[in-house]
Amino acid sequence: MPTLVLTLNAGSSSVKFALFEAADGAEAEPVRLASGQVEAIGGTARFQARAADGGGATDTAPEEGIPDHAAALARVLAWLEKVRPGASLAAVGHRIVHGGPDHAAPAVIDDALLADLERLVPLAPLHQPHNLAGVRAALGAFPEAVQVACFDTAFHRGHSALQQAFALPRRFFDAGVRRYGFHGLSYESVAARLQRDHPEVHAGRVIVAHLGNGASMAALAGGRSVASTMGFTALDGLVMGTRCGTIDPGVLLYLAQVEKLGWDAIAELLYEQSGLLGVSGISNDMRTLAASDDPAARFAIDMFIDRAARAAGDLAVVLEGLDALVFTAGIGENSAPVRAGIARRLAFLGAELDEAANAAGAAVFSMPSSRIRLLKVPTDEEAMIARHALRVVAPGTIAAAAR
């Protein structure tokens, strides 16, 4: 019987899923069988799914009756039964945004781990509560499967104390107030692809730019993360879709003391009303801004590019040089103007952009003479979660769960 793994990425009103089958060989990539998502949970939900062979395609009209994550997973389970009748899951792999200081590797989920992850909710309020809601729903929907937590922070846990620490009294670092870094599953996916397709790049000093609605950059040395733009929370670093990125802490004091905003209002401002949306006053979607002739849209894009280029320079200092800049995620993979804007700002470091190759979406879009290679590499967080889940589940456990 094939060993099947379901991956889940639960958001506030959505659940993205993918079904994988273990391939032969310990390091072989798992085979994607199907993927999809449930959107607008709690409202007029939409269910979309497709098997890898094109069968069982579903794109429902908005439907009632999916009030929560448990109902969403029941919908997923019913669809999986149609396309893979009688299939049994060995494991369910979950994206968990924050693992805190104690979780540097994927782990089997039990009551103690769930309680520990609940304590980290204040550090990732946009993500962690919904990740954990997905876990609880999956425990009910797939009781025979081993549930595996895969942490977005784990890939960065090898950072030096110098890169983790804030300039605060040591007791705060000991209490867990430190830089964690996020998007680790994406960076790990890109690093694995670089090792396979561009081993000479993987071996060098690389900055990976994960640019999407959430955005960050990470410095990799020999495929290992040594620094990241995101810190204590996923609010830090680059300008994002609705998040402000790095901000002077004095602004927060001003908002509280002068503007008289409460901390809940400040959190909503920084997490949900800032970034591209706040600066432009139009949208958090880069595609919408790029299509607009409003000067505010252009200004928001320019700020996004400026902050990313400045962050790349900072990470190049940590790496003591730069051999390659890699773009990934929704904006990084699909916006040639954003890639070009950042690359041009790094010309002083030796980046030479091949304008035609970039516009054509080429995987490598630097000139042959460029000292810094410019690449576009797709990320696959779901496949990385599946790999981790398969590694965590022992062969005997797999056999037992798959029966």
Active-site choice (59, 68, 111, 152): 152
- Secondary structure (3-state) at 4: strand
How many whole angstroms separate alpha carbon 93 and alpha carbon 108?
9
Phi, psi of 381 (to 5 degrees): -65, -35
Phi, psi of 52 (to 5 degrees): -60, -30
Which CB contacts under 8 angstroms, 24+ apart, belong to 25-31? 29/383, 29/387, 30/5, 30/383, 30/386, 30/387, 30/390
Q: How many helices (H) and strands (E) does the chain have?
A: 17, 13
- 152 in catalytic set: yes
Q: What is the DSSP letter of 72?
A: H
Buried b (16+ CB within 10 A) or exposed e, 78-100: ebbeebbeebebbbbbbbbbbbb
How many whole angstroms separate alpha carbon 42 and alpha carbon 71?
10
How many whole angstroms separate alpha carbon 394 and alpha carbon 14?
30
Q: Which amino acid is at 201?
A: V
| Residue 391 CB-half CA count within 13 A | 15
- Secondary structure (3-state) at 297: helix
Q: Any idea which residue has 């290679």 for tokens?
A: 373
CA angle 1, 380, 34 (to 5 degrees): 40
In the chain, % helix, strand, coil (3-state, to 5) comes to 45, 20, 35
How many whole angstroms separate alpha carbon 87 and alpha carbon 393?
18
* Catalytic residue IDs: 152
